[in-house]
Structure 1
Amino acid sequence: MDLLTPLETICRLMVRARELEAQVPSIETDEEEDPTDSDDEFAVLEDDANEATEQEIVALLDDLGDDQVQEILALAWVGRGTYDASEWSDALEAAADPDSEDPAEQLLDMPTLAGYLDAGLAAFDLSCEGIGQID
């Protein structure tokens, strides 16, 4: 299988998706004036809307062609187990279906997108090892 989308781009998307997955919604309490004064060791992971990381993912997807976003969605579906690697053409066809939800929105709605993409790449003997920030 030859990817239309550069592997580096998919790997960068995985890094950002992992960052988004690691963040948790902030919990506001009336008792707590300054979250840095709390004893909660996970407070540094809190981000009200994860906006910066999510915007970066959206911008990355917006910079790609429709066929590349569809390819990434199909890859995530293979990683999720919706399709097998041998059904790659079926996954691509389904991702390109004009009657279905926008592929970029579907990707953003996947709670473990990075894991799905990692598994999808592995199904085709590809990985992000040694590429950019991923080792």
Structure 2
Amino acid sequence: MSYTLNKQVRGSFDEVVEQTTEALSDEGFGVLCDIDVQQTLKEKLDEDFRRYQILGACNPQLAHQALEEEIQLGTLLPCNIIVYETEDNSVGVSAVDPEVLLSVVDNPELDQIATDVRNRFGHVLDELPQA
């Protein structure tokens, strides 16, 4: 079972990050954190790595509903979407699959929220130009 939703995207890395952030916003998500993995690995380990950005996305209304059902759910938030250079120098975008992620919680009250977030992440990927 895959734990991510994936798409190969057409465009430059920076354009894809911007388009992904805009598509997330259109679906009601803000980006709470933006981690440049390439830069972090260079600074901390002096290691070279491909361009790789982690966007920590949160939809406040859905997060609030989920936290009302499961207070410790914050350990799994925000939901991560990554934009990365592939081995063939194209750009990939992957989002965590919230249905898989929340299956570890084993709380049926979260099932509808997970499905809603998964559908929204699907819409985000659909908005990005196919490679």
Bin for the TM-score computed over the shorter chain: under 0.3
Larger radius of gyration: 1
Which has the larger helix fraction?
Answer: 1
Tell me which protein shows more strand as a share of its residues. Answer: 2
